[in-house]
Amino acid sequence: MFREPLILSLKLALITTLVLVLIGIPLAYFLSRSKSRTKPFIESIISLPLVLPPTVLGFYFLMAFGRNSGLGSWLDDTLGLSLVFSFEGLVIASVIYSLPFMVHPVQAGFRNLPASLREAAQLMGHSDWSIFHRILVPNIKSSLITGIVLSFAHTIGEFGVVLMIGGNIPGLTEVASIAIYKEVETMNYAAANQYSLILLLFSFAILFMVYAFNRKSEKVYWK
Amino acid sequence: MIRFDVHKVFRQSGVDFKFEMKEEIAVGSITGLSGPSGSGKTTLLRFIAGLEKFDGELMCNEVVWSKNKVNVVDPSARKIGFVFQDHALFPHMSVIRNVEFATKQPDSAYIADLFARLELDDVRDSMPHQLSGGQKQRVALVRALAPKPELLLLDEPFASVEQRMRSRIVDVIRHHHDENGSTVLIASHHDHQLKDLCSRILFINNGRVKAARNYSSLSPDHDHGVVEEIHLEENTALVKVKKGEDRLELRLPVSMLEGVQKGDKLKLDFLKDQN
């Protein structure tokens, strides 16, 4: 019973991070190279979760995917998919909520690479895909790991969005941060303390690893 | 013939920089680009490589490569070897992987020969961050030469290289040119190396070719004259030179004529003012 919220938090963070890697890297690459007039608009949309109260995001998510909305009822009727108060809904909301934590560092990584690396590979006759995965991505390793870890840690620590969209259903949507809130509500401080301590140590450990890795890779690559 | 008539306005720190050039470069020649920093040498190389868009037209052997901001021939299809000013070595690949990545079918013997000529055997398996500036420069040159390009574009290939190694680089470039008949363009501050290597040097300033100078190193009899008379004056000398059917009178500083006697051959360079 005690482990269930922690495992659910880890599962949510892993799936969210995986989805963010798949969509965040191409998106960050596009933004790092784009000179389009729509770029500030896209960047603003991606960065909104940084400044928006999580409850606002959760509210609009409920409005968009709730049973009473057109989209929500269509998903439910045709695909049997109910995003509100479900784990799938938590994943989608988490992806949106953590998107800037993946896109920003990766975009900065791409932007800081000398253009000559891509140009040199281009003149050698390599395709865009080959340049992307053989030259560019390996050289933003530290930015990528920062993005992955921040997204993962941010998802682990989510509260507002999760509560709005997932509620508090044990075994389905009750993640560790919600469990802490519940334990405090019921005055069970010992359990709340256990959850909190685990999250605190876990968060510190992964941040420490990121900073240690980045320090090492800075020394190696850009000496 | 590589022909270009290109122009572009760059805005740098609020000031317009107008690049405007119309030139022809003989295919199979070695041409130098000389000029101060920011004069437009690198920009011209980037235009030719198709790495930068411009207005106007660039042709190679009557085939349009680029026209009005459009690369008609993709840069990857131009068979170009490019040495970038920052070397552009891939940081995550060893020296040998960098070189092999430049060509689909690496010629191991040829690459080994280049490594030996440029004294890079000891750093084959090193990572770029472990190399000195001069070593990076030489690795970048080997990488550009590995696919035996038809057009070799070198941006400051002698920078951060010691004098002895500059001569090696000159030899390697000349050897590559002689073996493959490729066209070579070199942007450099090192006029001495350019004069050693190039049949023609374009003097560039403020985005324009201010002058072109032809060198006779590739056709030894073409611009030589025979000294017929030397009349010493105070600090100068009047030298009468026979060049083919022509006779020239040159007034030169005495210091330039040390050891020169009647009957000696003088190598003559002419500066053609294009303005």
What is the CATH classification number for the domain harbouring B184?
3.40.50.300
Residues of B with CB under 8 A from a CB of A: 49, 51, 75-78, 80-82, 84, 86, 88, 90-92, 101-104, 127, 129, 147
Indicate whether B44 and B66 sit together in one domain.
yes
Quick check: A116 and B91 CB within 8 A?
Answer: no
- Cα of A23 to nearest chain B Cα, Å: 24
**CB B85 within 8 Å of CB B141:** no
When divided into structural domains, chain B yields a total of: 2
CATH superfamily of A3-32+43-221: MetI-like (1.10.3720.10)
Name the residue of chain B whose CA is nearest to A115's CA: B88
Quick check: A119 and B80 CB within 8 A?
Answer: no
Q: What tens digit of pLDDT does each residue of B195-231 get?
A: 878 888 999 888 888 888 887 544 444 467 888 888 8
Residue A50 CB coordination number (10 Å): 11
Name the residue of chain B whose CA is nearest to A116's CA: B88
- Cα of A33 to nearest chain B Cα, Å: 14
Grouping H, G, I as helix, E, B as strand and the rest as coil, residue B12 is strand
Residue A36 per-residue DSSP state: -
Indicate whether B144 and B248 sit together in one domain.
no
The token pair that represents A48 in the structure block: 């909104």
Identify from B46, B69, B89, B90 which residue to disrupt to test chain A contact, counting A C-beta atoms within 10 A and taking the largest count. Answer: B90
Closest partner CB to A139 (pick from B92, B102, B104): B92
| Residue B260 included in any domain | yes
ipTM, 2 decimals?
A: 0.76
Residue B40 has pLDDT above 50, yes or no: yes
Residue B12: beta bridge partners?
B15
Q: What tens digit of pLDDT does each residue of B152-202 get?
A: 999 999 888 887 888 889 889 998 988 888 899 999 887 777 887 888 899
Interface size A-B, in CB pairs within 8 Å, comes to 53
Pairing of strands B236-243, B246-253: antiparallel
Residues of chain B contacting residue A141, judged by C-beta atoms under 8 Å apart: 92
Grouping H, G, I as helix, E, B as strand and the rest as coil, residue B15 is strand
| Residue B230 included in any domain | yes
A35 in contact with B at a CB cutoff of 8 Å? no
| Residue B219 included in any domain | no
Burial of A47 (0-12, 13-18, 19+ CB in 10 A): middle
Indicate whether B168 and B195 sit together in one domain.
yes
The token pair that represents B29 in the structure block: 């020649």
- The reported pTM is 0.77
Indicate whether B229 and B102 sit together in one domain.
no
Residue B89's domain spans which residues?
2-214
Residue A221 has pLDDT above 70, yes or no: no
Indicate whether B64 and B125 sit together in one domain.
yes
Indicate whether B104 and B35 sit together in one domain.
yes
